[in-house]
Amino acid sequence: MEEGKGRKIIMFPLPFVGHFNPMIQLARIFHHRGFSVTILHTSFNFPDPSHYPLFTFRTIPHNNAGGEDPMTQPDVSSMDLVAFIRLLRQTYAEPFRQSLAAEVGREKTVCCLVYDAVWVRNTEVAAEELGIRRMVLITQGVASFCAFAALPLLRDKNYLHIQASRLHELVTEVPPLKVKDLPVMETNEPEEFYLIATDMVKGANSSSGVICNTFEDLERLSLMDISSKSQVPIFPIGPFHKHNDNVLPTTKNIEDHVTTNWLNKQEPESVIYVSFGSLADIEEKELLKIAWGLRNSERPFLWVVRPGFVRGTEWLEALPSGFVENIGQKGKFVKWVNQLEVLAHSAVGAFWTHCGWNSTLESICEGVPMICTPCFTDQFVNARYIVDVWRIGIELERTKMDKKEIERVLRSIISKEGDGIREMCSELKERANVCLRKDGSSSKYLDKLVNYVMSFDSNALAS
Ligand code: UDX
């Protein structure tokens, strides 16, 4: 397509897998519509540009001129996530401003900046100084974004100091969430978390528009809610990864082939795929409960145990000796997989997930039922929607996990006795396909988005 020809979009992703993936998928969507894309990326977690030949990458250096990169010092890896994001925002604020100015100076055809909602403070001033329009990408679901938007109200009503006795109470301000589903996280810096979350919402409301990786049929009520409270246009154009076969390029390693061969040998819809995304970590005792539960369920499983996933250990050494050998071919432990390929494999019967938004959407698109063990923030909200609203999964609370409960849930989800979960999965999968057809809602919103961005003056804020 020619639409965006000659126009450049600058993108600024947050440097974590769950945020970078959707930004790159969005970049491919814009590229497909004729725009060229430059990605400003932090020196921290800088990706290999050779994997993304369609785009220009520029490194944003850290602000310790001549000194050590503050993001790679040894104590940083053990920081809590909120403190880490605070440091990230501080470290790259000024370097981002300079990088954006350099890019805009170099290119006269820049029509807007698309940035991850979490960056807000870094981007607002810099973009406005340069007269560049800001479009926000929210990488989470819209329901959880609405819950973030309600945080000030929920704080006033004293919901945020969560008391054990109220966990199962419905929060009438954000139904169907219960107190335990509120998007909070364990952190030493609760005020900073509140600031990041509320900043995201303010930043989105003061931007030129919000792009969401969701689709109308999935989050209609939440989209109506956000639209009614915000003056800016909202573009639900997801699922991003399904546009024009928008699969990220991956270099297949030997382990991927071994995994596929193993999946090929399993019965249809028999395998439990277990993965808790790219950030969550668990304790040794939780690893043991999951391991025994999987073993006792006697179902084949594919389990992603990232190095560092189990606090204080390298990989699987916390498992009893001989455990992996005894499992034999019945189960497979890997450090990382191509999740999109795994979920699309006919042998996969259920996804035991932390309910990160990408994982949730990827599972919906393949019609795979979920076992929901959320770990922090938006994952609690996603889990409630998966279980109670879309009815495509079963809850397995982290605090209630024990061998017996795990075994019960795993057996019931694979046995298909459930209450229509598989039928609902098939229906939602179909609806995700429909929204991407030429006359589907996401395609129509994408056309609107392209026209909207095309209407921006290059390098100039519209009045
Ligand atoms: C985080 C948050 O948890 C999530 O809720 C938020 O919306 C985005 O940032 P993360 O925890 O990593 O992301 O989870 P998720 O959103 O599910 O993203 C993980 C991504 O990594 C998915 O796209 C998944 O396909 C990919 N992945 C994960 C792999 O490709 N292989 C793996 O082995 C594990």
CA of 357 to the centre of ligand 1 (A): 7
How far is residue 147's CA from residue 163's CA, in Å, rounded to a whole number? Answer: 19
Q: Render pLDDT for 174-185 as a digit per residue (tens, 0 to 9).
A: 999 999 999 999
**pLDDT at residue number 462:** 40
Mean pLDDT of 449-458: 91
3-class secondary structure, 127: helix
Output 70 or 218, whichever has higher pLDDT.
218
Give the distance from CA 340 to its chain's centroid: 13
Task: Report, as an integer, the average pLDDT of 135-156.
Answer: 97
**pLDDT tens digits, one per residue of 334-390:** 999 999 999 999 999 999 999 999 999 999 999 999 999 999 999 999 999 999 999
Q: What's the pLDDT band for 77 if we cut at 50, 70, 90? A: low
Phi-psi region of 74 (alpha: psi -120 to 50; beta: other; left: phi over 0): alpha
- pLDDT of amino acid 463: 34
Cα 353 from Cα 349, distance rounded (Å) = 13
Residue 417 in this model has a pLDDT that exceeds 90: no
* Domains within the chain, CATH numbers bracketed: 8-243+436-454 (3.40.50.2000), 254-431 (3.40.50.2000)
Which tops the pLDDT comparison, 431 or 417? 431
CA-closest residue to ligand 1 atom 3: 356
User: Of 77-81, 221-225, 284-288, which range is least confident?
Assistant: 77-81
Spatial separation of the C-alpha atoms in residues 215 and 451, rounded to whole Å: 19
Q: List beta partners, residue 137.
A: 116, 211
Name the residue among 128, 144, 209 with its Cα closest to residue 449: 209
Whole-angstrom distance, CA of residue 71 vs CA of residue 369: 37
Separation of alpha carbons 433 and 196, rounded Å: 34
**pLDDT per position as a tens digit, 96-145:** 999 999 999 988 899 999 999 999 877 888 999 999 999 999 999 999 99
Which residue's CA lies nearest to atom 34 of ligand 1?
A: 277
Q: Could you report how far apart the first and last alpha carbons of the chain are, in Å?
A: 29
Give counts: helices (H), strands (E), the chain.
Answer: 16, 13
The pair of three-digit structure tokens given for residue 261, joined into one six-digit string: 């061969």
pLDDT of residue 151: 97
Give the chain's length. 463
Strands (E), 64-109: none
| pLDDT tier, 249 (very low <50, low <70, confident <90, very high otherwise) | low
Tell me the average pLDDT across 11-20: 97
116 lines ligand 1 (CB under 6 A): no
- DSSP per residue over 164-197, as a string? GGGTTSB-TTSTT-BGGGSS----S-HHHHHHHH
Report how far ligand 1's centroid is from the alpha carbon of 15 (Å): 12
Ligand 1 mean position to 32 CA, how many Å?
24
CA of 358 to the centre of ligand 1 (A): 5
Instruction: State residue 72's pLDDT score.
Output: 78
Output the pTM of the full model.
0.96
Ligand 1 close to Cβ of residue 103 (< 6 A): no
